[in-house]
Each structure stands twice: as structure tokens, then as C-alpha cells.
Structure 1
Amino acid sequence: MGKVTKYFHSNIFNKSFEYHLLKPDHPINDANILYVQDGNDYLELGEFEEAYRSCELASMTNWIIIFIHPGTSEERWQSYHHKGQLFNKYIDFMYEEFMPSVEQELDVKRISKKGLLGDSLAANISLHIAARKPEHWTHLLLQSAAIMKQDIACIAGLKEAIPWNVYQTVGIYEDEFVSPITNERLFIYTRNRELHEVFQRKKVNVHFSEMAENHLWEFWKRDLPSALLFFLKS
């Protein structure tokens, strides 16, 4: 399992995105694919490769993990927040350009599991990517999703049955977090409890945990092995 760095030129954005792949060196017939938003942060701050090696994933030979990053902090907010000017464009980019191209290049015959992993606003965009075409996804791994009532309403408005396995974790002190971009208090803990209630009403298979944590990468790094094991076992 080796990491490969590549570049993808988007016509939608008229720019190139750097992305990374963790995948086996041999061909894969039946793959489990995980798309990681905030990909560079997960590799550097979240120490994703260390988390991967620390759990049972290291013995799996059919996993492909794709790390994509939106750019600067400003580009991230514009792409990942539903009020951002690039929000819908980013979802279009994922479905119309990036995912089809990457999966064609991977040349796998079958995808058994297909998931999204994200922290904070990266969890929000993961939620909305999945909501665009719910049937395309089996797993969502959401760490401290920075969501608002409009985002929750989007999920509540989906058809009754959503075929997802969801790992949702949040810190009980995260209502205090204030966005460095908008200076808004985001009430992340409260909103995640509301989203969890929607998941339950939709009969989603959801693993929800509240921890005595703040909105910090140290929290998500410690939690990451559990999220990956959920993807492996559910």
C-alpha cells in the first residue's frame, strides 16, 4: 500500500487539484473506495497513514483511499459551506469530473463500499455530496460536522430510506466554536444532535458518539482509527 501524488485539471474550476492515492500495487477486482475531503489535513494533521497502519485496515488488500483538498482556507470555505460561491460547483466537480476520471483510471471491476470522510466543513460537503446521489454511497464518516439548519433540512428532505452507514462523532464542547471566516458561533454539538435525530428517523445505520472534546484536530486524529474501523466492519 503506497501513497501516490497526482494532479487533476478541472474544466469547471479552470485549475488543477493536487490529490493523493493510497492503494495496493496490484490490480483490484472488488474495491472499497474512501474519498477524503480536507485530504492534505488528514494526511498531515490527522496522521492518516499512521491511523491506517494502527488498525486492521493495514491487512486489507482491496482498499483505495483518495485524498482531495480544495485549496486555500478561503477556497475551502467557498467550496464546503452551503453559502459559499463555489459550493454547488464543487459538488458538480466531484460528480462530473473528478470521481469518474479517477475511478476509470483505477480500473476496478466492482466497488463494494464507497464512502466519504470529512472533518468540520469537510464533513458538511461530504454530507451534501452524498445527498446529491444517495444511492451512490454506502458510508459517511463525519467528524464534528460543521452544519447549519439548512444542511440538516437537506437530509430531512431526502426520500424515506437512505442506504448509508454513518459514523458521526462530535465533542460536547463544540457549541463554543466560532468560525474564523465568518465569526459566527456554529453550535456544532447541538446541530450534530439534531442531524443524528434525522438519521434515526430515516432509519440510517448510524454510530453516534459524543465525547468530552473541543473542535480540534487532536480530537479527530485520536478518533480516526475508530472511524476507519467502522468503514471496515459495517
Structure 2
Amino acid sequence: MAEPASTRRVIESHEIYSSHLWEDRTIKVCLPPGYPSNGTYPVLFCHDGNEFITHGRIATIAVERMVSASLSPMVIVCMAMNPRLRSADYDISGERHEAYTRFVMEECIPFVEEQYAISPAREEWFMAGVSLGAAASLSIHLQHPDVFGQLLLFSGAYYPPLQERVREATNLSGLSAYMLVGRQETAVETKEHGTLDFYHYNRQMRSLLEARGAVVDYREADGTHVWGFWQRHLPQALDWLHERLLSHRA
């Protein structure tokens, strides 16, 4: 039986050449049911875009919630990563992190603004990431707090250089973040740094952010550093996003 049109996922794929990264990047845009209609839509930008779709099932989960009215209709922009250069792009100590940030801000966002009916209100803009993608999201907020002030952060790879960058920030009252970490993420194997304790990295980052005025919805749950864990908790993260939108529109 065919899937009803109202619940069918619509994902449009684009190849963008980045003059900052010197390569093509894929952007997959998940559209809400009934798109387009009059008006504009909130937007969620996701690092590790392909994985958010295939492993996180974000398009399926989000559309189901939009149809049931438990999530506001929104555009979800999934930015694919280069597997060979993920750390170089996402880690603030990576040699391409500045270039990757410029790709997001100067190439990806203008393309999406031109092609899709997204809200001009930055209060309706969100960014999400897992692991190093969460670290990249936080780094982009620190550099562009007027653009991305609402983050969904899953099991962030908050290495000491990023923690130090946050310590240097005197006022993060413009940041609202949903944070999730698994209680069993105490010995995560990384290619660059060996075995690390992400659980305590996330607890430390929560304290650093709150001490500087950020509003943090911090969650811990049983789970390890895998997409299955993040997928299970994605509905709760989308609930948080929905509540943020309702608060803005009230």
C-alpha cells in the first residue's frame, strides 16, 4: 500500500561546491508535509547530515511528529560530512575548522535561504550535532551567537581546547541547549585521542555553560556512544525544540 502523501518523506538533495573547503558537499533538505505553503518555516541544521537521516531517522521521526502536530512544521537541513576529514572540519583544533565554519555560514546558509522558505527570525533557527558534530555546533554558536542560539547537543566531544574556549566566554545568556549523554559513555574509543570519558566531558560542559548564563536542558540516560542511543532520544530533543518554538511565538 502506498504511503499517504501527507506522511511521505520529501528529501531534496543538492551538491554545493565549497570554495572554502575546495570540494563538493552534499546537502539534503527534509521538507515538512504540505511544503510549500504561505509563510516561512523554522529550520534545523544538522552536522553529519547523511547519518542523521540513515541512522538517526530524523526525517521519518520528524515528519511523523509534524503530522500528529507534536512538532511544528519545519525544514531540516542535513549537511553531509567528509569521512576522511571529519575531525579536521568539526574539531576546533582541526586544521579546517575555520574553513568549515565559513562553509556553513557563507555558503550553505545562503543557499538554503535562497532555495527554501525558511524563517528570517533567528529565534526559529536551530543546530544539531552528535559527538564532534555537537562540538562544532557549540563552536559555531561561540563565533556567531546572533545566528545560532539554540542547539541540540548529543554526547558532545567537548575536548579541553573547546572547554577552554567556553571558559573564556563571559556571557552565554543567549544560548539555550538540549544536552544528552549516555551514562555508559565513560570509555569512548576515538581515532585521534584514544579512549576518552565523554560522560564527564558532558557534565563538565554543562557546568561551564550554566555558570556563564546559558539555559541548559541536560539529560542523562543509559546508553553508549552509538546512533541507536541518539535515535531513541531524538523524539525528546524534538519535543524540546517544539517547546522553544511555542515559547517564541507566544
Q: TM-score, normalised by structure 1?
A: 0.91
**Cα contact 1:30–1:62 (8 A) shared by 2:** no
1:16 — aligned with what? 24
Q: CA deviation at 1:58?
A: 5.4
**Aligned pair in 2 of structure 1 residues 49, 97: CA closer, same or farther (>3 Å)?**
closer
Percent identical pairs in the alignment equals 22
Residue type of the alignment partner of 1:69: A
Q: CA deviation at 1:161?
A: 3.8
2:207 — aligned with what? 197
1:173 — aligned with what? 184
Q: What secondary structure is seen at the aligned counterpart in 2 of 1:178?
A: strand
Task: Map 1:1-234 to 2 at 5 A.
Answer: 2-24=10-32, 25-27=35-37, 29-56=39-66, 59=69, 62-72=73-83, 74-108=84-118, 110-111=120-121, 112-179=123-190, 181-234=191-244
Q: CA deviation at 1:164?
A: 2.1
**Aligned pair in 2 of structure 1 residues 109, 201: CA closer, same or farther (>3 Å)?**
closer
Residue type of the alignment partner of 1:6: H
**Aligned pair in 2 of structure 1 residues 53, 62: CA closer, same or farther (>3 Å)?**
closer
Between stretches 62-71 and 149-158, larger displacement belongs to 149-158
Residue type of the alignment partner of 1:136: V
**Cα contact 1:134–1:162 (8 A) shared by 2:** no
Q: CA deviation at 1:35?
A: 0.2
Q: What secondary structure is seen at the aligned counterpart in 1 of 2:128?
A: strand
Q: Distance in 2 between matches of 1:102 and 1:178?
A: 35
Q: Distance in 1 between matches of 2:226 and 2:22?
A: 32
Which consecutive residues of structure 1, in runs of 5 or more, have no partner in the other structure? none
Q: Distance in 1 between matches of 2:168 and 2:38?
A: 36
Q: Distance in 2 between matches of 1:155 and 1:30?
A: 33
Residue type of the alignment partner of 2:27: Y
Q: What secondary structure is seen at the aligned counterpart in 1 of 2:95?
A: coil
Q: TM-score, normalised by structure 2?
A: 0.86
**Aligned pair in 2 of structure 1 residues 28, 177: CA closer, same or farther (>3 Å)?**
farther
Residue type of the alignment partner of 1:116: M
Q: Distance in 2 between matches of 1:29 and 1:156?
A: 40
Q: CA deviation at 1:155?
A: 2.0
Residue type of the alignment partner of 2:130: D
Between stretches 93-102 and 125-134, larger displacement belongs to 93-102
- The alignment's C-alpha RMSD in Å is 1.9
**Aligned pair in 2 of structure 1 residues 156, 6: CA closer, same or farther (>3 Å)?**
same
Which consecutive residues of structure 2, in runs of 5 or more, have no partner in the other structure? 1-8, 245-250
**Cα contact 2:31–2:76 (8 A) shared by 1:** yes
Q: Distance in 2 between matches of 1:188 and 1:118?
A: 15
